[in-house]
């Protein structure tokens, strides 16, 4: 017979210590809600049933978190972690029940699997850690033979108990029968007047139910209760992300000054300079260089692309050996082919820029197609919007757009066509023609000031 496992994630609390209108479990870490990190780890651990106990801002929490086959249980009043688990019990189908606090977000699927494996058929396993500073956490009380005897919450602990630095991570796995038997026995005669799930351990120990303690690294199990702990957890998380990049051969100039808020696929010999933020799904080809202070969100960057300092790229695709920036902005739908150059103060939105085209200075290119090797002069604007609708600009292969041209869309500039500097081009320019639309210069002789 195969045993099945149910995970219950406790996420009904307000998180008062965060001092925020946003519920604690939705506070972002690396751009992703705390609770979503936990749900993702549970998902990876191949658990049969996933239940989240919600309460405070339940609708918002439900709408924000996504995962397949999640079950939600509502805890109207937050009467303690034991009560929260009790609320979920009628929905539980698994033989083993993995309980997770909704704020220990760095937990990995590996550790969860290890804990589940250590849970006996009629007993429990408890994840503990050695905390450098155990303030606020439940302490693990052991007997002389080393077996776990109970958990004492910080607020209920005596002076000597407070000296214990082995703590309850809030993550445990219990056989369904044990949980069912001991939950009704919880009492709220403690400092917080709550039904503590942690009291199940003491009751089990009294009855000699097997309790297997499994230890984990404190950093992986820390719960975040306030903004200080959130910032600490963020640093730990970022350190892990950047280590992963370096293990894949990426040169990171300063590992403490790169942030990953999503997933990064990375080639060989990539160089990332300081203060770079990678968000969403980012892929970086071989030999990509990212200079300081760049943000890349949901971008695909091909081999040997060079992104110069202070560039901002979002939902953009950049072809092989292109050079971007400094101070460039690629907005959603910017698609740059091989060897394209985009220089300073250039904004590109929803446009296809073909191989070898250059847009080097101070331009706005939106809803456009720019042909191969076209050269867009400084200060060119595609006037794509009339206040109501958006229109397209087409620029042919080899075209040369003179500086400070306004291309009033819809408009087509032919292949190898030229526009005169300072033109407002409202009509199509045929292939190889010069389009010029500006007032003629008049010189007035002997002009005196
Ligand atoms: C809890 C543990 C403590 C452990 C610590 C680890 C208890 C009594 N204490 O304390 O031993 O060291 O986690 O981080 O279990 N929640 C509900 N409903 C409730 C109460 C809480 O869903 O009625 C949820 C909260 O949303 C939170 C989680 O349970 O996600 C833990 O609650 P929290 O207040 O953070 O407990 P700690 O004081 O950190
Ligand atoms: Mg907590």
Write out pLDDT tens, residues 388-406: 999 999 999 999 999 999 9
Residues 6+ apart with CB under 8 A from 117: none
DSSP-based three-state secondary structure for 82: helix
| Closest ligand to residue 104's CA | 1
Nearest-atom number in ligand 1 for the CA of 223 is: 14
**Per annotation, catalytic residue among 83, 176, 306, 361:** 361
What does the pLDDT read at residue 449? 83
Distance from CA of residue 160 to its chain's centroid?
Answer: 41
Using only the alpha carbons of the chain, give its radius of gyration. 30
Nearest-atom number in ligand 1 for the CA of 54 is: 22
Write out pLDDT tens, residues 173-211: 999 999 999 999 999 999 999 999 999 999 999 999 999
Nearest-atom number in ligand 1 for the CA of 84 is: 18
Residue with tokens 């139910």: 209
**What CA–CA distance (Å, rounded) separates 356 from 374?**
7
| Residue with CA at minimum distance from ligand 1 atom 17 | 12
Q: Which residue from 363, 57, 388, 37 is spatially nearest to 221, judged by alpha carbons? A: 37
Q: Could you say which residues of the chain have pLDDT below 70?
A: none
**What CA–CA distance (Å, rounded) separates 121 from 136?**
32
Give residue ranges with CB within 6 A of ligand 1: 10-13, 25, 53, 75, 78-81, 83-84, 101-104, 137-138, 151, 153, 167-170, 196-198, 223, 225
Q: Which residue from 273, 326, 327, 278 is spatially nearest to 301, judged by alpha carbons? A: 278
Find the 11 Cα to ligand 1 centroid distance in Å. Answer: 9
**What tokens appear for 252 in the block?**
């990171």
Among 170, 183, 232, say which to mutate for ligand 1: greatest number of ligand atoms within 8 Å of CB: 170
Nearest-atom number in ligand 1 for the CA of 151 is: 11
What does the pLDDT read at residue 380? 98
> What does the buried/exposed string (b/e) look like for 105-135 if buried means 16 or more CB atoms within 10 Å of the residue's CB?
bbbbeebbbbbbebbbeebbbbbbbebeebe
What does the pLDDT read at residue 2? 86
What does the pLDDT read at residue 196? 97
Find the 72 Cα to ligand 2 centroid distance in Å. Answer: 20
Residue 361 annotated as catalytic: yes
DSSP 281-327: EEEE-TT-EE-SS-EEES-EE-TT-EE-SS-EEES-EE-TT-EE-SS
Find the 24 Cα to ligand 2 centroid distance in Å. Answer: 10
The C-alpha angle 274, 334, 303, rounded to 5 degrees, equals 55
């Amino acid at each position: 017979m195969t045993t099945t496992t149910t995970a219950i994630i406790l996420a009904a609390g307000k998180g008062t210590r965060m001092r925020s209108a946003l519920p604690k479990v939705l506070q972002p870490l690396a751009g992703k809600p705390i609770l979503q990190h936990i749900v993702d780890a549970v998902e990876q651990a191949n658990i049969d049933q996933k239940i989240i106990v919600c309460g405070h801002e339940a609708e918002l929490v439900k709408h924000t978190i996504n995962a397949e086959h999640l079950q939600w249980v509502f805890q109207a009043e937050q009467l303690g972690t034991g009560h929260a688990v009790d609320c979920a019990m009628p929905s539980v189908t698994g033989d083993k029940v993995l309980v997770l606090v909704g704020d220990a977000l760095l937990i990995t699927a590996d550790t969860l699997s290890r804990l589940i494996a250590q849970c006996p058929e009629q007993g429990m396993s408890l994840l503990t850690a050695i905390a450098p500073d155990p303030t606020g956490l439940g302490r693990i009380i052991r007997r002389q033979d080393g077996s776990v005897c109970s958990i004492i919450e910080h607020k209920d602990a005596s002076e000597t108990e407070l000296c214990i630095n082995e703590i309850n991570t809030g993550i445990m796995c219990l056989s369904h029968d044990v949980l069912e038997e001991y939950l009704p026995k919880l009492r709220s005669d403690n400092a917080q007047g709550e039904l503590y799930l942690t009291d199940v351990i003491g009751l089990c120990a009294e009855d000699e139910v097997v309790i297997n303690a499994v230890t984990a690294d404190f950093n992986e199990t820390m719960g975040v209760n306030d903004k200080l702990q959130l910032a600490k957890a963020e640093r730990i998380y970022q350190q892990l992300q950047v280590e992963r990049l370096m293990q894949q051969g990426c040169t990171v100039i300063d590992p403490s000054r790169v942030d990953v808020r999503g997933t990064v696929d990375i080639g060989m010999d990539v160089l990332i300079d300081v203060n770079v933020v990678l968000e969403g799904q980012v892929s970086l080809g071989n030999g990509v260089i990212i200079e300081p202070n760049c943000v890349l969100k949901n971008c695909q960057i091909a081999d040997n692309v060079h992104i110069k300092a202070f560039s901002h790229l979002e939902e953009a695709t950049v072809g092989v050996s292109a050079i971007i920036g400094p101070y460039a902005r690629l907005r959603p739908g910017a698609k740059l082919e091989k060897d394209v150059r985009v220089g300073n103060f250039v904004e590109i939105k929803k446009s296809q820029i073909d191989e070898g085209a250059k847009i080097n200075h101070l331009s706005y290119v939106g809803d456009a197609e720019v042909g191969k090797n076209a050269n867009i002069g400084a200060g060119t604007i595609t006037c794509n919007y009339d206040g109501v609708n958006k229109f397209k600009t087409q620029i042919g292969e080899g075209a040369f757009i003179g500086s400070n041209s306004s291309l009033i869309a819809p408009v087509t500039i032919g292949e190898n066509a030229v526009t005169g500097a300072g033109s407002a081009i409202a009509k199509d320019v045929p292939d190889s023609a010069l389009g010029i639309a500006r007032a003629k210069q008049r010189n007035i002789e002997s002009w005196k000031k």
